[in-house]
Amino acid sequence: MDIKTATALRRLRLVSAPEAVSFLILLVCSVLKRTTDFDAVPVMGAIHGVLFILYVIFWADAWNRAKWPLKTAALYFVLSVLPTGGFFAERRLRREAEDAVIAARARKEGVVNA
């Protein structure tokens, strides 16, 4: 894996969890708006919107660089629109990055032809 691909995947991973958190907070704010006088939806909506747009941009870049099959790219996109999907995306991306590091070390040491 080259450095640009690793960077694209890292950016996507780093924005996944905050995007999921902002989505959950936005849902809570929506409920509070309807049940109380507390109205933080405009602020949280803007924050979540920016994070979602960043996620989609980073997702498209990662898809392009990592040459994911359509099924994998679709999975990461669907995870972005589910309330807790960003947590699952972050965990899966972290696991893939760790596997790539292990494979690179094994190739460097000549242990395996991975």
Render each residue's pLDDT in the chain as its tens digit; 114 residues: 778 888 999 999 999 999 999 999 999 999 999 999 999 999 999 999 999 999 999 999 999 999 999 999 999 999 999 989 999 999 999 998 888 888 888 888 877 655
How far apart, in whole angstroms, are the C-alpha atoms of residue 10 and residue 49? Answer: 20
Question: If 0-12 CB within 10 Å is exposed, 13-18 middle and 19+ buried, where does residue 112 land?
Answer: exposed
* One-letter amino acid for residue 19 of the chain: E
**Greatest C-alpha distance within the chain:** 64
